[in-house]
Structure 1
Amino acid sequence: MQRNYWFIALGIVWTIIFSGMSFYWAMGGLLGVRSLGGAIYEMSLNPSPSFMMIVWLTGFIKLLGLVLLLILLVQWKKPIITRILYFITKIVGSLLFLYGFLNFITITLSRLNILDFDLDSYATFWRLIFWEPFWMIGGVFYFFSLKGNKPLFNFFNKLF
């Protein structure tokens, strides 16, 4: 497994920013919340304790990505650990990218009046310009943080 230290570093920065936003909102900050739109924005204006707990929890869940990226820097003696980390990183990167990409498509379809979403034009703009590309960029950082160099990894190497 070859490490791409630039992508790992960018992924670490991305993850800290990403989780930091959740912690900021969990502490009551409202900057940027309107750009999320819909029910999340409405709930953040008068948050219930359970909603705040969910926001705190999402921040901690996002930090698990930081743990994953940091353990990529360890030289593992057992090849099975390396393989597992490789596939977990590829799956996490793919899921982050797909989440942003599919949201981008559905919000665009909403903007074209093909789908009906409860997003105002402000939230739609920021979701298309910032939030969904932000998810996709994070997915790229995770996905390309490792490159396989054994025959087992050739499948991914040929695809990407």
Structure 2
Amino acid sequence: MHRLVLAAPVLLAACAPAAEPLTPAFSGWWRPVDSRFGCESRAFRFDRTSIQLRRDARMITTFDIVDASVEQNDMRLTLRVANEAAVLAAMETGKQAMRTELPKTEIVISLQRSGGRLLPSNVLIREDGPRGLRAPRRGEDAAMRKVFTMTACQI
């Protein structure tokens, strides 16, 4: 019985109806190119107000969309790390400060759709404080490009 109570929210989230897409050109599910197990293990969806991650049959909000401008196959987004993703990151890494620090971080990124692929460019980071926008450090840039270089899922 206890397992059933825990499984119900996970199943409901996985079966939840799709929210309205940010734009038709970017609708559907997208997976990072390096995802070893394809769309079944990890895929993203760009909704009107957030980016959802479906990971191993669970759905979480990874980013809240603060601002978006879309022109045909090009999209410029200002994203804020969602509280739900920050809590998960804190739990997975054991770094509890991530719970409060990550939601203060914004990412400004441009994505271009080329056929069935999304390609990132012009990545900037805005952290809480007077520094404003900055270019990502080498490791940050590589990690963001790895996550946001995506292929359309055929589900």
Q: Which category of TM-score, normalised to the shorter sequence, fits these structures?
A: under 0.3
| Higher helix fraction (1 or 2) | 1
TM-score after normalising by structure 1: 0.23
| Higher strand fraction (1 or 2) | 2
- RCO higher in 1 or 2 (8 Å CA, sep ≥ 6)? 1
- Greater Rg over alpha carbons, structure: 1
TM-score after normalising by structure 2: 0.23
